[in-house]
Amino acid sequence: MKIIGTGIDIVETGRVRESVAKFGDRFLHRCFLPDEIAYCQSMKFPELHYAARFAAKEAISKAFGTGIGRQLGWKDMEICKHDSGAPFVKLHGKGAELATARGVTEVLVSLSHSKDYGAASAIVVG
């Protein structure tokens, strides 16, 4: 196993809360997949979970060295949970294509959140 890239990001939960309040579903459906939205909405403070997932997607894009854009979009990455509660990443569309092209076998991710911040780190391995 070889580390191809690493990334880290932190997001203010207040900014996520404001984006949801101002743009609603347009913001959510631009950045998150249906299962991510359903999970976050099921939580007492959805903005904490949205912020951590937003940070995770930014961290993953940094680990790939692309940022969010033409090569890797918001919905090309999905943050899921194992039954144990541990997060894992599913790549879709351009994300899956990029992973195949670079020999990526797994994307490891760790999420954290507090009242004010969501944070994540990602490691792309091959």
As a 3-state breakdown, the chain gives helix, strand, coil percent values, each rounded to 5, of 45, 30, 25
Question: Which tokens in the block code for residue 83?
Answer: 């039954």
Catalytic residue among 2, 44, 62, 81: 62
Query: Would residue 81 show up in a list of annotated catalytic residues for this protein?
Result: no
d(C-alpha 20, C-alpha 95), whole Å: 25
Catalytic residue among 75, 92, 113, 115: 113
Q: Are 121 and 108 in contact (CB under 8 A)?
A: no
Query: Would residue 92 show up in a list of annotated catalytic residues for this protein?
Result: no
How is 68-82 classified by DSSP, letter by letter? SSSSS-GGGEEEEE-
d(C-alpha 52, C-alpha 16), whole Å: 10
| Catalytic sites, residue numbers | 62, 113
